[in-house]
Structures are given as C-alpha cells and as structure tokens.
Amino acid sequence: MKKLFVLMFGVALVLAGAWFALPLWPASIPAGGVSISVRNGSSLSRLANDIQQAEIAPALVVQAVARMRGSARRLRAGEYLFEAPQTVADLLSAIESGNAKQLAVTVVEGSRLSDLYKQLLPVSAPLGTATFAAGSVPERATLRDVLPAEMTELEGYFFPDTYFVAPGSSASALLQLMHKRMKQEVAKAWEQRAPDTPLKSPYEALILASIIEKETGREADRPLVGSVFVNRLRLGMRLQTDPTVIYGLGDKFDGNLRKVDLQTDTPYNTYTRNGLPPSPISLPGRASLRAAVAPPSSDFLYFVARGDGSSEFSRNLAEHNRAVAKYQLGK
C-alpha cells in the first residue's frame, strides 16, 4: 500500500511539473520566421488548430496554455510575425497584446485610380512583408461588384490617406474602406457648402475638388484656386484647366501638352466644353474638398504657376497676360 501511495504521489508530481512546464513548451519556428493570422472573432480552438497545421505546436498544448493564462477571451485579430526562439506562452502573450505587424499603405492626394491599382498589385516578398494577398485585388471591370457604388464612375471615390494593414491582407477590404471614407468626407464637406455654391450635388463637389487637387500642390493656394473655378462656374465661363485635358488624353499623353490637345474636343476638355467634366480626375484630399464647396470670396478669374509651387492670381485677362509673361515666358 505504501509503495502504491509513493508511486501515485510520484506520478502526481510528474503531471504537476508537466502542467506548469507547458507554458515553456518551445514553439517550432523555422529559420525564416513564421506568420500567424488571427481573424476577427477567431476562437481559441481555431487558433490552436491553425498553429498545429503550421507545425508550430500541438493544438492541445496551445489550448491548455491558453486556459492556464485565461487567454481564450483576450485574443486580438491581426497578423503576428515570430522569429525563434519562442515558447507557446510567448506566442499567446503577443496575440493577447494585439502587437500585430502592420504595414503602411500611403495613397497620395491627387493620385488616380490607376495609380492606386499599381500600389495594390501584389509583388514577391519575404514572409510577412507582402502587403496584399494574391487574388485579393479585384479586376477594374468588377470593382463595382465589391463596392456599394451609386456613381457612374469610380474615379475619385477613394480617400487618399495612410492606412495600416496586416501583411497579406485583402486589397478588396482596403478599397472598401477607402471608398467608405471618401463618401463620408464628401458628405461632410457638402454639409459645409456655401449657400450660393453653383455646385448642384456632392458628386459635382468631388469633381471640382479633384481638379483643384491637380492644379496645385501648395495647400495655401487651394482655397483661392477653388474660388477661381467657382467664380467661372457662376459666370458661365469655361474652366480651361490643363489637368482635365490631360486626363481626357489618357495613354496618349506623353508628358507634353500641345496646342492641338487643347483644341481637340473630348468630354474632359474644359477648353472646348462648358461646366465640369463628367467625372473626377484624381483622388482629392480634405483641403481640396473644402476649397470646392466653400472657397473664400474673391473676384479672381485666372491664375498661373509662378514656378515655385505657388500661383499668381488675376482679376482680368490683362492682369493674367502680364502674369503669364512674367512667370511663364520670363519677360
């Protein structure tokens, strides 16, 4: 009887030691590191199975350690990158903290939808550094299928900003977020529109904002650029803005805008057509949206680039011609 008691006590000690040693169970991480993805709403059993399938640690060990730590309800979604050496407890600690790997995707104001697509295309990259998963970028022709879009053209309806995404995430999800953000920003700007604005809809505001965005990279000039275009719309003057002509040329534009281009009629040629073009020509930021819907009161009708990023504004054609001679022709 005494021997049986000693044996059972010894087994109990071994089991207790093994139980308390479980958190120190070494994770089998390859030399190049490993990426663990935790989805929103993911359960402990799902995470444990994913870890086991990746041959990092047995699912039973992961679940046991998680329950010891009370981790089951503290799992946070994200893409987690690990390098050896790590224990199972280390993995769970990182996932509880939410210290996930994120990559910055910066979409510059004034970009086009085609520019945005170039950023989304997946490229060959080491583990944990590929921004988007292959196959997650929708074709341009099917983009409307993944977006709640009511407009005729999708150009312009994505908000330029810096977004943080997990490596290997879905490009479609980012496009949906950018689209939602732009709809919110346009709606907010439209609520702040001037009572006498000649713009008839939020979409027209987006179109004008996209032109303002392409006309100047200097934020301080955007309000006055907006006032010039709004004044012209009120008077029925043509906008006569080069960026719309360039957009209408598409792939034919070789970087040199010629006189014949200004004279060739297209839906986007604001030298030959009245009013706004049929769609935005770029992705405008918040400042350009504001400049479109509520520019400062002015009597400016013209502006010309000074060559240093700023613009010279004029009230009439005579003033404008003098400014062109000074800043463009060097006279």
Q: Are residues 114 and 46 in the same domain?
A: no
Residue 17, domain member (yes or no): no
Q: Where does a domain end: 185, 215, 248? A: 185
H or E element at residue 36: strand 34-38
Tell me whether residue 153 is in a domain.
Answer: yes
Separation of CA 245 from chain center:
26
Q: Give domain status of residue 213, yes or no.
A: yes
* pLDDT number for residue 328: 78
For the segment 4-22, what is each residue's pLDDT rounded down to a tens digit? 444 444 444 433 444 455 6
Is 204 within a domain?
A: yes
In a domain, 264, yes or no: yes
Q: How far apart are CA 57 and CA 277, in angstroms?
A: 59
Same domain membership, residue 199 and residue 323:
yes
The boundaries of the domain holding residue 82 are 24-97
Q: Could you read off the pLDDT tens digit of each residue along the chain, which spans 331 residues?
A: 555 444 444 444 433 444 455 667 777 777 666 777 777 777 888 888 888 888 888 888 888 888 887 766 677 777 777 777 778 888 888 888 776 666 778 889 999 988 888 877 755 455 445 677 767 777 766 677 766 655 557 889 899 988 877 777 778 888 888 888 899 999 999 999 999 999 999 999 999 999 999 998 788 899 999 999 999 999 999 999 999 999 999 888 888 888 898 999 999 999 999 999 999 999 999 999 999 999 999 999 999 988 888 888 899 999 999 988 888 776 5
Quote the pLDDT of residue 154.
Answer: 83
Burial class for 278, CB neighbours closer than 10 Å (0-12, 13-18, 19+) = middle
Identify whether residues 61 and 166 lie together within a single domain: no
The pLDDT tens digits for 258-307 are 889 899 999 999 999 999 999 999 999 999 999 999 999 999 999 998 88
Position 143: which residue type?
Answer: L
User: In terms of domains, do 199 and 317 share one?
Assistant: yes
Please tell me the pTM assigned to this model. Answer: 0.71
Residue that is last in its domain, among 53, 71, 97: 97
203 and 134 co-located in one domain: no
Does the residue 13 lie in any domain?
Answer: no
The answer on 201 and 178 residing in a single domain is: no
Domain-located, residue 2: no
Nearest CA among 48, 51, 46 for reference residue 28: 51
Q: Report the alpha-carbon distance of residue 232 to residue 220 in Å, rounded.
A: 20
CA distances from 312 to 68, 147, 214 (A): 69, 40, 16
Q: Pick the last residue of a domain from 129, 156, 185.
A: 185
Q: Does 232 lie in the same domain as 170? A: no
Question: Would you say residue 16 lies in a domain?
Answer: no
Task: Look at residue 285 in the predicted model and tell me its pLDDT.
Answer: 94
Q: Quick one: 254 and 171 in the same domain? A: no
- Does 293 lie in the same domain as 203? yes
What φ, ψ does residue 47 adopt, rounded to 5°?
-60, -45
Structural domain total, the chain: 3
Q: Which two tokens stand for residue 260?
A: 């014949």
Which whole-number Å values give the CA distances from 129 to 33, 80, 140, in the listed order?
12, 11, 25
User: Same structural domain for residues 46 and 80?
Assistant: yes
> What is the CATH classification number for the domain harbouring 68?
3.30.1490.480
Residues 91 and 115 placed together within one structural domain of the fold? no
One DSSP character per residue, 89-144 reads: HHHHHHHHHT----EEEE--TT--HHHHHHHHS-----TTT-SB-TT-S--GGGGG
1, with CB counted inside 10 A (0-12, 13-18, 19+), is exposed
Please say whether the beta carbons of 199 and 205 come within 8 A. Answer: yes
